[in-house]
Amino acid sequence: MKLFFSSVFSGSDWLDNVLMEIDENGMIKSLISNSEKSEADKIFSGTCVPGMPNLHSHAFQRAMAGLTEIAGSGQTNFWTWQKVMYQFLSKLSPEDVEAIASQLYMEMLRGGFTSVAEFHYLHNDINGNYFKNPTEMSDQIFAAANISGIGLTHLPVLYAYGGFDCIKPEDGQKRFLNTIDQFQLLLETLKNKYRNNNLTKIGVALHSLRAVSPEMITDAAALAPEGPIHIHIAEQIKEVEQCMAWSGQRPVEWLLNNADVNERWSLIHATHMNEAETRTFAYTGAIAGLCPTTEANLGDGLFPLEGFFNQKGRIGVGSDSNTSVDLTEELRLLEYGQRLNQQRRNIGANGEGTSTGENLFNKSLLGGAQALSQLVGILEPGYRADFILLDDNHPTLFSRKENFILDAWIFSCGRDAISDVFVGGNHLVKNGRHIRQESIEKRYRSTIKFLLN
């Protein structure tokens, strides 16, 4: 298949009149600028940019949108939100998860995310028992990825304890729990089932330092000698204080001292770091998985972006709790949080004369691709044909060129400027609508009706 675009941002260069050839596996075969339209099977007039890997999602939480914004009698914070989340899980069936994840992944595509790392810790039935099929819940995530067409890096999560020092889990955590043996069985079953799919990848995740023992970190890494490893870390001040009380070290400090953190790792949030942690983390080449809308929604705090960039730290973005599902909102809030805090502008830019939007977009593409361990994030031969089209005729983007289009899209517009989305060469969103939107939404509505009544 040959597609023609009047303008392409490859991830490093701006190209005009581009002919993109996509092979039968959905990979880019060639990308040639200054080409003729007549050679193409299909012609697009908008600006083509790489689709964004979403490096952190808990799909089922999308169904909680709008249900956790009520003030309580005392202080409402992350920990009170977590209680609502646990209650929500008391009804959720595997079929419900598939319906919610399908709706979410479709929305991600419409919001500019063309692949997702699903940090999957919902393993057990509503009573906390293992399903007969160890991959019962994971299967729903793969099915949803397949229905929506999004690229998937599936990260089954090891979750064993209720807090630091291996304390007993509370009742609300019973659907998450695995022994290391059960986790091994889950991983092996997954790898046998889903081995040969060029849109999917399997990694591992550790829920947090609160939920696993130090030995389990070593054991889980040994079970997955290759592929991504993700962990939630230093999201909340209370977590930092508890880690200090347990080990005498801060969470990121402890992890860097006790695990072989390298380019396979993504440290999700890493919000609360001192300068030494920020520097040492950046040197590892691991990814900081930033989830600005969720971190704002939960009142987590602000990541030390400028210090991390100064040390050449690598970032990616994720929609995490999926309170909002729009790539531009993540990038915009990432920058605005820093501006509000430091009372300066363009903190995410790469020096004088550079575009903030382009730099944040570009860094998140590269970091996201590394975090998902997929050949995406750049439009070049050998990479998967994951890209989105921005509507040049949209009033907010109109008459803008190159990085001004990215800045207008990210800061002033958002997802309604996305007209078309391709993943692995499949044309999934056409003129703003997903090709299976009607059936996915219908099923989602009936699921929500059941869950909320």
Give the range of 281-289, 319-327, 349-357, 440-448 binding Zn ion by CB under 5 A. 319-327
Q: Considering the complex, what minimum distance in angstroms separates the CB of residue 30 from Zn ion?
A: 38
Among 320, 329, 391, 407, binds Zn ion (CB under 5 A): 320
267 or 408: CB nearest Zn ion: 267
Q: What is the chain's alpha carbon radius of gyration, rounded to the nearest angstrom?
A: 21
Rounded least distance, CB 121 to Zn ion, Å: 9
Measured from the CB atom, the residue of 277 and 320 that comes closer to Zn ion is 320
Asked if 277 is part of the footprint of Zn ion (rule: CB under 5 A), the reply reads no
Residue 287 tokens, joined? 């990814």
Is 207 annotated in the active site?
Answer: no
List beta partners, residue 18. 5
Q: Which stretch binds Zn ion (CB under 5 A): 29-37, 211-219, 221-229, 314-322?
A: 314-322
- Minimum separation from the CB atom of position 57 to Zn ion (A): 8
Q: Which residue number, 55 or 160, has a Cβ lying nearer to Zn ion?
A: 55
What track of x and - describes contact with Zn ion for positions 177 through 206 (by CB under 5 A)? ------------------------------
Taking CB positions, which residue lies at the least distance from Zn ion? 320
The nearer residue to Zn ion, 320 or 391, going by C-beta atoms, is 320
Q: Which stretch binds Zn ion (CB under 5 A): 46-54, 136-144, 210-218, 316-324?
A: 316-324
Least distance to Zn ion, CB of residue 231, Å: 10
Instruction: In angstroms, give the least distance from the CB of 247 to Zn ion.
Output: 22
Query: x/- contact string, 396-425, with Zn ion (CB under 5 A)?
Result: ------------------------------
Minimum separation from the CB atom of position 32 to Zn ion (A): 41
Q: Which candidate in 232, 269, 272, 434 is catalytic?
A: 269
Cα 400 to Cα 393: distance, rounded to the nearest angstrom: 10
From 68-76, 279-287, 313-321, 393-401, give the range in contact with Zn ion by CB under 5 A.
313-321
Q: Give the shortest CB-281-to-Zn ion separation in angstroms.
A: 18
**Nearest CB to Zn ion, comparing residues 5 and 159:** 159
* DSSP bridge partners of 43: 4
Let me know: does 55 contact 47? Beta carbons within 8 Å. no
434 is catalytic: no
Which is catalytic among the residues 139, 300, 320, 386? Answer: 320
Stretch that binds Zn ion, among 78-86, 189-197, 300-308, 312-320 (CB under 5 A): 312-320
Query: Between 56 and 394, whose beta carbon lies closer to Zn ion?
Result: 56
Q: Which stretch binds Zn ion (CB under 5 A): 172-180, 318-326, 420-428, 437-445?
A: 318-326
Mapping DSSP onto H, E and C, the string for the chain reads: CEEEEEEEECCCCEEEEEEEEECCCCEEEEEECCCCHHHCCEEEEEEEEECEEEEEECHHHHHHCCCCCCCCCCCCCHHHHHHHHHHHCCCCCHHHHHHHHHHHHHHHHHCCEEEEEEEECCCCCCCCCCCCCCCHHHHHHHHHHHHHCCEEEEEEEECCCCECCCECCCHHHCCCCCCHHHHHHHHHHHHHHHCCCCCEEECEEECCCCCCCHHHHHHHHHHCCCCCEEEEECCCHHHHHHHHHHHCCCHHHHHHHHCCCCCCEEEEECCCCCHHHHHHHHHHCCEEEECHHHHHHCCCCCCCHHHHHHCCCEEEECCECCCCCCHHHHHHHHHHHHHHHHCCCCCCCCCCCCCHHHHHHHHHHHHHHHHHCCCCCCCCCCCECCEEEECCCCCCCCCCCCHHHHHHHHHHCCHHHEEEEEECCEEEEECCEECCHHHHHHHHHHHHHHHHC
Rank residues 302 and 349 by Cβ distance to Zn ion and give the closer one: 302
Query: Taking a C-beta distance cutoff of 8 angstroms, is the pair 156, 120 a contact?
Result: yes
- Report the residue number, 320 or 392, with the smaller CB distance to Zn ion: 320
Q: What is the nearest approach in angstroms of Zn ion to the Cβ of residue 292?
A: 13
Residues found near Zn ion in the complex (CB under 5 A): 320
Catalytic residue set: 269, 320
